[in-house]
Amino acid sequence: MTKENWKGVLEDCFEKIRLIERCKVETKENFFQFCEFIAEPAFETLSDALREFGLRARWKKEKASLLYLEISFPKSRATQFGYAISLPPNSIQLKLELKLRGRREKNVPFNEWVEPFMPQVEPEKILTVTKEEVIEDVLRRYRDFMIAILTSSP
């Protein structure tokens, strides 16, 4: 390897590092926009609508990489179902995770599982997801969870 070859390799190495760091910053900014303009309004609208069914829902943003919605048991403050959209650490694209948790009764521990968030949507298209699509995803997963606990043995 000549001096000129290794210098090219060195320059290429640091260019790739700069590119990755820039992608990480842009991804965090895009996640912030997704939360602020799509997911948070969806959670707010859904929280209001669930009150009509005796359910309390609240949402919160934890750190800069997690937005969490909790749905309570009917006529209770205790959480029954949780839906959290998160940006995995060191992400260079909006390939989001969905952390779900739920329980059958107030006094039992939560079952928790992780799935891809809207796997049918490519990471570069996440910012085109609508508030209504997020609401539909939450409701679909909540419905599936409730059907599973209502039709399974204790």
| pTM of structure | 0.89
Question: At residue 1, does pLDDT exceed 60?
Answer: no
Using CA atoms, how far apart are residues 97 and 76, in angstroms rounded to an integer?
28
Using CA atoms, how far apart are residues 26 and 17, in angstroms rounded to an integer?
14
Tokens of residue 22, six digits:
């820039």
Tokens of residue 79, six digits:
């959480």
Domain ranges in the chain are 3-151
| 89-120 confidence digits (pLDDT tens) | 999 999 999 999 999 999 999 999 999 999 99
